[in-house]
Amino acid sequence: MLYFVARRLVSALSVVLVTLIATFALFFVAPTDPAAAICGERNCTMERYNEIKANLHLDRPKVQQFAEYTAGIFVGRTFETSGVKQECTVPCLGFSFKSDRPVTEMLKTRLPVTVSLVAGYAVLVLTIGVFVGSMAAKRRGTLGDRALMSSTLIMSSVPYYIVALMISLYLTILYPILPRGSYTPISENPGKWFAGLITPWLVIGIYNCTQYARYSRGSMVETLSEDYIRTARAKGLSDRSVTYKHALRSGLIPVITIFGLDIAASLSGAIFTERIFDLPGLGNLVLQSLETYDLPVIMGTVLIASVVLVAMNFLVDVMYSLIDPRVRLS
């Protein structure tokens, strides 16, 4: 078990490191000149341009810049702009070109929004999606099962953003049945937090529940035909214990595998959702900073997204080993 955890940690760290290098490379490959961008177009003198460049350490060798950036994450950095010293505290990800605010601070306010969104998504697909799928598997071949499966097929053939836009338009604006999307930190007011997120959750959750219902149905149909399910029935267990104690535990394994792969996709799904419901999350932030070539912010977001991804995958692995004793050994 210890070995298992240690190995996962090493591979997680290497993923983050690779992302770090890749984003940094992006910084230079990008067809933009940050110093020119900051300097502005009208009253930018060569002098000022060079000064900005020096302040941002853009005149130093690239490897050194990378080392400074990385070191900043762990020990912090100090920048000097026009004689004014700016402390960038640990973990330092630099300053936004546009707003001059520390990237770390910006991410700190944005991250909880996205995490709330994705967490709600995970809860919805793994409960409702799996439950609906299991029910369909148990009643496979019946009218209800077929209706459900064809409706999921229809759902999944409509692009997500159309569903999201329609719901947003019809249910929150034209016929305001659902509250419009907004974000209040959970620490401030849990009720408001919930109310503001319920519509985005429902949209992203229900849309993807149909997918998860399909996966779990497939997996449960297979599990229910296993010999050990017959054994469980032969013991005299009720239909309910057979389905939810014996079949579901095995049936969940492939669903969790898919969930692990799906997390990256759900993060990008969050970009749409945040945009459509106007939530101040990472997705929105990255879109804004892309428009303005705000490279430190882009880098910071990509980095934090990769950390979230790695953490979630680790979580999936732990879930795996909790469900399947055979995984624990290797």
Partner 1 sequence: MSTPAPEDRKDTMVGTAAGEPAPDAAAKRGPSIATREKRQGTLNPSGETPYLVVEDLTVKFPTADGVVSAVNGLSYSVPLGRTLAIVGESGSGKSVSSMAVMGLHDRKRTKITGSIRLGGDEIVGLPENELMKVRGDAVAMVFQDPQSSLHPLYTVGNQITEAYRVHHKVSKDVAKKRALEMLDLVGIPNPIRRFKQYPHEFSGGMRQRAMIAMGLVNDPKLVIADEPTTALDVTVQAQILDLLNNLQKEFGSAIVLITHDLGVVAEMADDVLVMYAGRCVEYGTAEDVLARPRMPYTWGLLESIPTVSAANERLQPIKGLPPSLLSLPSGCSFNPRCPYKERVKGERCTTELPELLPVDGAGAHTSRCHLHDKASIYEAEVAPRLG
Partner 2 sequence: MSDNVRMVDAVPAAQAGTPLLQVRDLKMHFPIKEAAGLGRTKKVVQAVDGVSFDLSAGASLGLVGESGCGKSTTGRMITRLLTPTAGQILFKGKDIAKLKERELRPFRRQLQIVFQDPYSSLNPRQTVSNIISTPLRVHNLVKKGKELDRVQELLERVGLNPEHHNRYPNEFSGGQRQRIGIARALAVEPEVIIADEPVSALDVSIQAQVMNLLEDLRRDLGIAFVFIAHDLGVVRHFCDEVAVMYLGKIVEQGPRDQIYGAPQHPYTQALLSAAPDLGTIRGVPPKERIRLVGDVPSPIDPPSGCRFRTRCWKAEDICATQEPPLEPKPLSTAGHVAACHFAEPKVDLTAASA
10 Å CB burial of residue 36 (0-12, 13-18, 19+) is middle
Q: How far is the CB of 12 from partner 2 (least distance, A)?
A: 17
Q: Report yes or no: 282 and 107 within 8 Å, Cβ to Cβ.
A: yes
The sign of the dihedral angle between the CA atoms of 231, 232, 238, 240 is negative
Q: How far is the CB of 250 from partner 2 (least distance, A)?
A: 23
Binding partner selected for residue 227 from partner 2, partner 1, none, CB under the kind-specific 5 to 8 Å limit: partner 1
Instruction: Tell the residue number behind the tokens 């239909």, with chain if given.
Output: 239
Q: How far apart are CA 268 and CA 141, in angstroms?
A: 35
- Binding of partner 1 by 1 (CB under 8 A): no
Distances in whole angstroms, Cα of residue 307 to Cα of each of 66, 113, 148: 18, 16, 36
Peptide bond into 190 cis (omega under 30): no
Strand partners, 84: 81
- Binding of partner 1 by 83 (CB under 8 A): no
Q: Which is nearer to partner 2, 43 or 330 (CB)?
A: 330
The secondary element (H helix, E strand) that includes residue 164 is helix 160-167
Binding partner selected for residue 237 from partner 1, partner 2, none, CB under the kind-specific 5 to 8 Å limit: partner 1
Q: Which of 128, 134, 322, 124 is nearest to 219 (CA)?
A: 134
Binding partner selected for residue 174 from partner 2, partner 1, none, CB under the kind-specific 5 to 8 Å limit: none
- Binding of partner 1 by 326 (CB under 8 A): yes
Q: How far is the CB of 237 from partner 1 (least distance, A)?
A: 6
User: Per-residue x/- marks for partner 2, 224-243, CB under 8 A?
Assistant: --------------------
The stretch among 3-11, 142-150, 225-233, 244-252 that binds partner 2 (CB under 8 A) is 3-11
Q: Report yes or no: 310 and 16 within 8 Å, Cβ to Cβ.
A: yes
User: Per-residue x/- marks for partner 1, 232-271, CB under 8 A?
Assistant: xxxxxxxx------x--xx---------------------
- Binding of partner 2 by 4 (CB under 8 A): yes
Q: Which is nearer to partner 2, 7 or 230 (CB)?
A: 7
Q: Which is nearer to partner 1, 307 or 319 (CB)?
A: 319
The sign of the dihedral angle between the CA atoms of 288, 23, 118, 216 is positive
Helices (H), 278-294: 282-291
Q: Report yes or no: 120 and 205 within 8 Å, Cβ to Cβ.
A: yes
Joined tokens for residue 77: 């950095």
Q: Which is nearer to partner 2, 173 or 322 (CB)?
A: 322
Q: How far is the CB of 233 from partner 1 (least distance, A)?
A: 6
Q: How far is the CB of 219 from partner 1 (least distance, A)?
A: 14
Binding partner selected for residue 323 from partner 2, partner 1, none, CB under the kind-specific 5 to 8 Å limit: partner 1
Q: Which is nearer to partner 1, 105 or 226 (CB)?
A: 226
The stretch among 1-9, 25-33, 59-67, 148-156 that binds partner 2 (CB under 8 A) is 1-9
Amino acid in the structure at residue 245: K
* Sheet strands (E) in the chain: 77-81, 84-88
The stretch among 16-24, 62-70, 231-239, 311-319 that binds partner 1 (CB under 8 A) is 231-239
Binding-site residue total for partner 2 (CB under 8 A)? Answer: 6
Joined tokens for residue 306: 């990769």
Contacts to partner 1 by CB under 8 A: 226-228, 230-239, 246, 249-250, 323-326
